[in-house]
Amino acid sequence: TEWWTQSYRLMKTFGNENPDVALVATRLREDSDAFKQCVPLIRSLASPALRERHWESLSDLIGEEISPDDTLTLQYLLDQDVMKHWDGIETITVKDYSMTTL
Protein backbone atom coordinates (compact mmCIF):
# COMPACT_ATOMS: atom_id res chain seq x y z
CA THR A 1 0.00 0.00 0.00
CA GLU A 2 2.96 2.33 0.43
CA TRP A 3 3.66 2.24 -3.32
CA TRP A 4 0.03 3.04 -3.99
CA THR A 5 0.02 5.95 -1.53
CA GLN A 6 3.28 7.37 -2.86
CA SER A 7 2.15 7.07 -6.46
CA TYR A 8 -1.07 8.90 -5.62
CA ARG A 9 0.90 11.72 -4.00
CA LEU A 10 3.17 11.95 -7.03
CA MET A 11 0.17 12.11 -9.33
CA LYS A 12 -1.31 14.98 -7.34
CA THR A 13 1.99 16.82 -6.88
CA PHE A 14 3.24 16.62 -10.46
CA GLY A 15 -0.02 16.26 -12.35
CA ASN A 16 0.01 19.74 -13.88
CA GLU A 17 3.70 20.60 -13.53
CA ASN A 18 5.23 17.51 -15.07
CA PRO A 19 2.85 15.25 -16.95
CA ASP A 20 5.56 12.64 -17.60
CA VAL A 21 6.12 12.11 -13.88
CA ALA A 22 2.36 12.00 -13.34
CA LEU A 23 2.07 9.38 -16.08
CA VAL A 24 4.74 7.20 -14.45
CA ALA A 25 3.01 7.60 -11.08
CA THR A 26 -0.31 6.64 -12.64
CA ARG A 27 1.22 3.54 -14.19
CA LEU A 28 2.82 2.60 -10.86
CA ARG A 29 -0.55 2.95 -9.17
CA GLU A 30 -2.28 0.81 -11.80
CA ASP A 31 0.41 -1.87 -11.59
CA SER A 32 0.20 -1.84 -7.79
CA ASP A 33 -3.58 -2.27 -7.97
CA ALA A 34 -3.20 -5.19 -10.38
CA PHE A 35 -0.60 -6.85 -8.17
CA LYS A 36 -2.75 -6.44 -5.04
CA GLN A 37 -5.46 -8.42 -6.80
CA CYS A 38 -2.99 -11.31 -7.17
CA VAL A 39 -1.76 -11.45 -3.57
CA PRO A 40 -4.42 -13.93 -2.36
CA LEU A 41 -3.55 -16.25 -5.25
CA ILE A 42 0.17 -16.00 -4.49
CA ARG A 43 -0.42 -16.71 -0.80
CA SER A 44 -2.65 -19.68 -1.54
CA LEU A 45 -0.29 -21.30 -4.03
CA ALA A 46 2.79 -20.62 -1.91
CA SER A 47 1.48 -22.76 0.93
CA PRO A 48 4.05 -25.41 1.89
CA ALA A 49 1.13 -27.62 2.88
CA LEU A 50 0.13 -28.19 -0.76
CA ARG A 51 0.92 -31.70 -1.95
CA GLU A 52 1.02 -33.31 -5.37
CA ARG A 53 -2.67 -34.27 -5.15
CA HIS A 54 -3.60 -30.62 -4.64
CA TRP A 55 -1.58 -29.53 -7.65
CA GLU A 56 -3.36 -32.22 -9.66
CA SER A 57 -6.72 -30.88 -8.47
CA LEU A 58 -5.65 -27.35 -9.37
CA SER A 59 -4.52 -28.52 -12.82
CA ASP A 60 -7.87 -30.23 -13.39
CA LEU A 61 -9.69 -27.11 -12.27
CA ILE A 62 -7.96 -24.70 -14.63
CA GLY A 63 -7.53 -27.17 -17.49
CA GLU A 64 -3.76 -26.72 -17.69
CA GLU A 65 -0.95 -28.77 -16.20
CA ILE A 66 0.69 -26.80 -13.40
CA SER A 67 3.27 -27.87 -10.88
CA PRO A 68 5.28 -26.01 -8.26
CA ASP A 69 8.59 -25.81 -10.06
CA ASP A 70 10.88 -23.10 -11.38
CA THR A 71 8.90 -22.78 -14.60
CA LEU A 72 5.64 -21.78 -12.90
CA THR A 73 5.28 -18.01 -12.87
CA LEU A 74 2.56 -15.62 -11.84
CA GLN A 75 2.47 -14.27 -15.39
CA TYR A 76 1.88 -17.77 -16.77
CA LEU A 77 -1.03 -18.27 -14.36
CA LEU A 78 -2.51 -14.90 -15.27
CA ASP A 79 -2.11 -15.72 -18.97
CA GLN A 80 -4.13 -18.89 -18.28
CA ASP A 81 -6.82 -16.67 -16.69
CA VAL A 82 -6.68 -18.56 -13.40
CA MET A 83 -8.43 -15.78 -11.51
CA LYS A 84 -11.70 -16.86 -13.08
CA HIS A 85 -11.20 -20.08 -11.09
CA TRP A 86 -10.40 -18.27 -7.83
CA ASP A 87 -13.28 -19.77 -5.85
CA GLY A 88 -12.20 -23.30 -6.74
CA ILE A 89 -8.53 -22.55 -6.10
CA GLU A 90 -9.37 -21.08 -2.74
CA THR A 91 -11.49 -24.11 -1.86
CA ILE A 92 -8.66 -26.52 -2.71
CA THR A 93 -5.94 -24.56 -0.91
CA VAL A 94 -7.97 -23.55 2.16
CA LYS A 95 -9.30 -27.08 2.55
CA ASP A 96 -5.73 -28.33 2.45
CA TYR A 97 -4.57 -25.80 5.02
CA SER A 98 -7.45 -26.71 7.32
CA MET A 99 -6.60 -30.40 7.10
CA THR A 100 -2.95 -29.82 7.97
CA THR A 101 -3.72 -27.66 10.99
CA LEU A 102 -6.00 -30.22 12.63
pLDDT at res. 100: 57
Q: Which residues in 54-86 are b (16+ Cβ under 10 Å) and which e?
A: bbebbeebbeeebebeeeeeeeebeeeebeebe
Residues 99, 57, single domain; the answer is yes
pTM of the predicted protein model:
0.74
Q: Are both 73 and 34 inside the same structural domain?
A: no
* Same structural domain, 23 and 57: no
- Residue range(s) defining the domain that contains residue 53: 47-102
Indicate if 58 and 94 belong to the same structural domain: yes
Q: For residue 2, what pLDDT band results from cuts at 50, 70 and 90?
A: confident
Same domain, 31 and 51: no
CA separation for the pair 7, 13 (Å, rounded): 10
Number of domains in the chain: 2
Q: What is the pLDDT of residues 55-70, one digit of tens each?
A: 999 999 999 999 999 9
Instruction: Give just the sign of the alpha carbon dihedral 25, 31, 33, 35.
Output: negative
3 and 31 together in one domain: yes
Report the distance separating Cα 47 and Cα 33, nearest Å: 23
Same domain, residue pair 97 and 62: yes
